[in-house]
Structure 1
Amino acid sequence: MSYRGAYSAEGLTSRPAASGGEVQLNMPSASDFDVDDEVEKLHGKVSMLKQMTGAIHEESGIRGKLIDQLEETMSQAGEALKVAQKEMKKAFKSGSSWHLCVLMMFCLALFLGFYVLYRMGKFIRFFTG
């Protein structure tokens, strides 16, 4: 008992026989199978695949450029960070705590001055107003 091959709507199929190494092919009739029609279908599929590969190539190129730009930006940021760290180290080494104390006292005096002026303005408005 052997299996007989059958054709599909898209072309020929073959199935091996149950016994031995025989292969049976059944060719569809000329009215059911048109070679030119099948070639046109294949040509359409090949064209579609060509367009898809072109789009994939273009997309991968764009993504590659974006990755290159990101790498360049990250390296620039790393360099800027190194420069800022060097400047901070230099500032901490050269600066003393005395400068920081003077700055804090100045800020405190400025705040107290504005506070006193604000309170005096309320005091003056209370008696004039």
Structure 2
Amino acid sequence: MNSRRDYRSNRAALFDGLVEGGIRDYSSHEIDEHENDRAIDGLQDRVNILKRLTGDIHEEVEMHNRVLDRMGHDMDASRGVLSGTVDRFKMVFEKKSSRRMATLVASFLALFLLIYYLTK
């Protein structure tokens, strides 16, 4: 009886790597390599997605920088125009004989604001 057990255990040890139909199972080393290859493929996909995402972010940042530069130039130009206008108003208000001019400017300004709000 002992010999039968030995025969069965020897037979199991001999055919341990085989499955039905003669197909051999992969060794643990081959399985680890296969899993590593899948993990590498997954990481490459993620890296490609991140590259595309950072490229899109870079383009958007460049676009915003251009918009901010244009807005800065426009603000500088409007600051120049506004300072000239303020200087003219100072001259108008410094002269005592030009009270009528100040009233006229204020009425034009009020009229302009009224028309602006009505059209908006």
After TM superposition, the score normalised by the length of structure 2 is 0.51
Report how many residues are paired.
77
- What is the aligned counterpart of 1:30 among 22, 27, 30? 27
Richer in helix (by share): 2
Please identify, of 62-71 and 89-98, the stretch whose mean Cα deviation from structure 2 is larger: 89-98
What's the CA shift string for 1:52-100, capped at 9, x where partnerless? 1210110121122112202211220121111111132134336622212
5+ residue gaps, structure 2: 1-25, 107-120
Distance 1:82 1:97, change over 3 A: same
From 46, 60, 63, the equivalent of 1:62 is 60
Displacement of 1:33? 4.7
Of 79, 91, 94, the residue aligned with 1:93 is 91
Q: Which has the higher strand share?
A: 1
Alpha-carbon spacing, 1:45–1:63, altered in 2? closer, same or farther (3 Å): same
Seen in structure 2, the aligned counterparts of structure 1 residues 69 and 79 have a Cα distance that, compared at 3 Å, is same
Instruction: State the superposition RMSD in angstroms.
Output: 2.8
Misfit runs of 4+, over 4 Å: 101-104
Q: Which structure is richer in relative contact order (CA contacts within 8 A, separation 6 or more)? A: 1
**Taking structure 1 as reference, are residues 54 and 103 closer, same or farther at Cα in structure 2, changes over 3 Å only?**
closer
Amino-acid identity (%): 5
Instruction: Give the structure-1-normalised TM-score.
Output: 0.48
